[in-house]
Amino acid sequence: MYTTERYETTISVKKYLEKYVDVETFLECCKACPNYEKIWSCPSYDFDVLEYWKKYQYLDLTAVKIIFDEEYAGKEFSKEEMNRITEASLWKVKHDLSQELLVKEEENPGSISLSAGSCGLCKDGCPRTKGEPCHFPHKMRYSIESLGGNVGLTISKLMGIELEWMEEGKLPHYFVLVSGLLR
C-alpha cells in the first residue's frame, strides 16, 4: 500500500525559535481548529509556551514521508475506505514513531518528545471537554505545531520536503509526519 522515507536533522532550540516558531501567530490560528481547547495536548495552555521550548538546548527532528503506491495515490475513496487506509498507514506509522520517541526519551535523560500531530491516545475521545484531567499525562506529548512551530517551513527548509495540498475525497500522494525530541 505504501513505502516510507525518513528524514532526520538536528537544530539548536535557540535557532529553531528564531526561524521556525511564532507562538503568537500559530496559537491564534489554533483557535480555528476543532481540537482547540478540546484535547489536552492542544492550546490553550496553562503554561508559558516559549519557556517550555527554552528548557531544552537541541531539537532532533524526524520526519516520515508515507508514500502511497500508484493504485492509491491521488485516487478517490469513500469515507469508510479512506478511514481504513489512513488507519493502516498514517495512524500506524504515527503510533510506531511515538513508541520510538519514547525509547529515545529513555536513552536521553531529561528529554521530551514532540508528537506528530495531536494526541489520540484515548480512543473514546479526550475527556477535556468533560472537564476531566488528562488520563495519561506520562504518555501525552505536545506537537511542534501546538507549541507554535511552523511545520510546513520546518520540513521544506530543513528537510527538503514539500507539503501536498489535500483534495476532498482523494488520497494524497503522500503524508508527512513530523516529530521531534527536545533535549
Give the interface with ligand SF4 as residue ranges (CB under 6 A).
39-41, 119, 121-122, 126-128, 134-136, 140
Nearer to ligand SF4, 94 or 128 (CB): 128
Is residue 174 classed exposed, middle or buried when 0-12, 13-18 and 19+ CB atoms within 10 A define those classes?
buried
Residue with cell 503510533: 95
Nearer to ligand SF4, 35 or 86 (CB): 35
Grid cell for residue 20: 521556525
Q: How far is the CB of 132 from ligand SF4 (least distance, A)?
A: 7
Q: How far is the CB of 27 from ligand SF4 (least distance, A)?
A: 17
Nearer to ligand SF4, 22 or 37 (CB): 37
CB half-sphere exposure, 107, CA atoms < 13 A:
8
Q: How far is CA 34 from CA 79, 100, 129, 137, 155, in A?
A: 19, 28, 12, 21, 24
Nearer to ligand SF4, 13 or 122 (CB): 122
Q: How far is the CB of 123 from ligand SF4 (least distance, A)?
A: 9
Q: How far is the CB of 95 from ligand SF4 (least distance, A)?
A: 13
What does DSSP assign to residue 21?
A: B
